[in-house]
Chains A and B, each alone.
Chain A
Amino acid sequence: MRYAGRIRTAVIIVAFGLLELLCRTGVISGFTMIPPSTIAGSLIEILLSGRFSADIMVTLRNVSVAILAAMLIGPLLAIILHQVPGLRRILDPLFATYYAIPVYAFYPLLMVIFGLGDLPQIAVGFLLAIVAVLINTLNGLDRVPPVLLKVARMHRLGPVATAVKVRLPFAAPYIFTGFKLCVAYSFVGVIGAEFITSSRGIGYEISYAYNNFDNRVMYPLIFLILTIATVINMSLYAWERKLLARRSSVS
C-alpha cells in the first residue's frame, strides 16, 4: 500500500475507534448513535436473518436498472445530439441547469405517470444519472482530434462505424467519468425516492426505522448502503485506472 493509502486507512481506523469510545462511554447517547461494533454486529444479524433481504434486493435491482438504462441510453443520445448540432443547441441550456432542478419535486408527477410500483423510483434514479453520462460523453466526443476522423474517412467508415470504432473509443475515459457519476446518482435517486413514498426498499426501511427510533436497524442499513456504494465505486475506479494506464505515457 502506498503512503497516502496507509494514512487514509489509519484515519478511518482512528475515527471509528474514537466513535466506539464516545458511544461506549456514554458521551454520545444511544438515542443518537450506536457504537460501530454494534452496527457491524447488527448488520450481520440482519443479513443472516434475511429480515430485509426482499428490501435489499428491490433497491439493488432498481438501482441496477437505473444505472444500466443510463449507461446504455446516455452515450447513444450523446452520439445523436453530437450529430445534430441544432438539437444540441436547443438542449444545452437544459443540461447546463439540469442539476439545479430538484428532481424530487416531480415525484408526484412521476407517480401519476408510472403508478405506485418500482417505476417512479427507477425513473428518479435514471433521470438523475443519464444527464451525467450524456454531458460527459458529449465532452469526450467534442475532443476527438480531426485527424482521427480523417483516418476513419480514409478507411471509408460510415457515420455509424465512425461513431462505434473511433468517436466512442476515443471518448471512453470521459464516458467513464460519466459512468462513475451515474452510479452515484442512481443510488441517490432511487434511495431518496424510496424515502419519500414507497412501501419497500432500503430507503423505505431506513426512514421507517428512523420514525420508530430504531437505531439498531437504521444505522446498519445506512452502513450497508455506504459499503455497497464504496465497493462499486472502488471497482470502477480500479477499472478506470487500468483503462487510463494504457492511454498515458507513465505506465
Chain B
Amino acid sequence: MTAAPAAGAHASLRDVTRIYPPRAGRPALHALGPVSLDLARGEFFAVVGPSGCGKSTLLDVMAGLVAPSAGTVTFEGKPVYAQVPDGIGVVFQEDASFPWLTVYDNIAFGLRQEGRTANEVRASTEFAIDFMGLKEFASAYPAQLSGGMRQRVCIARTLVLKPRLILLDEPFGALDQQTRLLMGDELLRLWRETGATILLITHAIDEAAMLADRVGIMSARPGTFMDVVSTDWPRERDSTIVSDPAFGLLTSRIWTLLRAESLRSMGHK
C-alpha cells in the first residue's frame, strides 16, 4: 500500500482503521478497516455494504467527526483531525433535524452560523426550500413532517452551505421508491451544477449503480473494500439509465460480490 494520498485526490483515506474503545462493560469493537480510498475532485462515489459493516463509521472518519485509530485522512491536501474542515457537508443516517426550529430555521441554521447577511440567508434558504419541495412546510416544525420530509430538511440544511465534499449517509432511506429515483435525479443535477465531490452511502444497490461513477463494495465488519466497480456512465445521466442493459449487468455484479458478505453479516457461514 502506498503511504501518500494520490496526487490531486480531493479527499483520501490512507490505511484507516477505527476501533471503538471498550465502554460500559462492552469490549473494544473493530468497526472499520484498514481501508484506503481516494476520491477524485468532482467524483460521485457510492458505498454499499452489509448492515453494521462500518459504513457510517467510514463517513464519520472522513468528515473528521471521529478520529481514526490508525491511518490518515486528508481533505484538499490537509490532514483531517478531530474537526470537520470547512467545505465538508454531511447528511446523517438518523433524523438530525432540530425539533425546536421550524423547517425554515433548520435550513438557515448553518448560514446564520457562518454569519451571512440577512439577505443572503433569506435568498439561499428560500431557494433550498423550493428545491427540496418544502415550500408549504417552511413554518412547520419537524415533528409535523413525515420521516422523508425531515430527511429533506437535513439535506437542504447541509446543501445550502455549498460544500465541496458532500457525505450522504442513506439520505433516501425514508423515501418510497419513486421519490427516491426522483431525488436521485435531483442529486445528479446538483452534483453536475456544483461540481462537488459526493460520497453516498446506500443500502440500495440500484441507487448506487445508477448514481455513482464508482461503487465501493464493503465486506462484513470490520469493513474493508472488497472491490471498487466503475460504472462508466456519462456525466449527463438520469434515472432513465435503469433501463440500460449495462445497468442490469452492473447491479448483478455488485450483488454477486455482496451476497456472500451479507449472509456472513447475518451470521450464516
Task: Identify the A interface with B (CB < 8 A).
Answer: 145, 147-148, 150-151, 153-157, 161, 165-166, 169-170, 172, 246-249, 251
Contacts and interface: CB of A to CB of B under 8 A. Distances in A.
B8 to A, nearest CB: 25
Chain B interface bracket (under 10, 10 to 19, 20 to 34, 35 or more): 20 to 34
B99 A154 contact: no
A246 B65 contact: no
B99 A170 contact: yes
Q: 8 closest A-B pairs (Cβ-Cβ)?
A: A246-B141, A147-B94, A169-B100, A147-B96, A249-B143, A155-B113, A247-B99, A151-B96
A246 B143 contact: yes
Nearest to B101: A169
A150 B83 contact: no
Contacts of A247: 99-100, 141, 143
A251 B141 CA distance: 10
Main secondary structure of the interface of A (DSSP, over half): helix
A158 to B, nearest CB: 11
Contact of A150 (B88, B92, B99, B101): B92
Main secondary structure of the interface of B (DSSP, over half): loop
Given A150-B60, A155-B110, A249-B144, 6 more contacts: A147-B92, A150-B65, A169-B101, A246-B143, A247-B141, A251-B144
Contact of B96 (A148, A156, A157, A165): A148
B143 to A, nearest CB: 5
B128 interface: no
Interface string B137-167: 0000101100000000000001000000000
Contact of B83 (A145, A148, A156, A169): A156
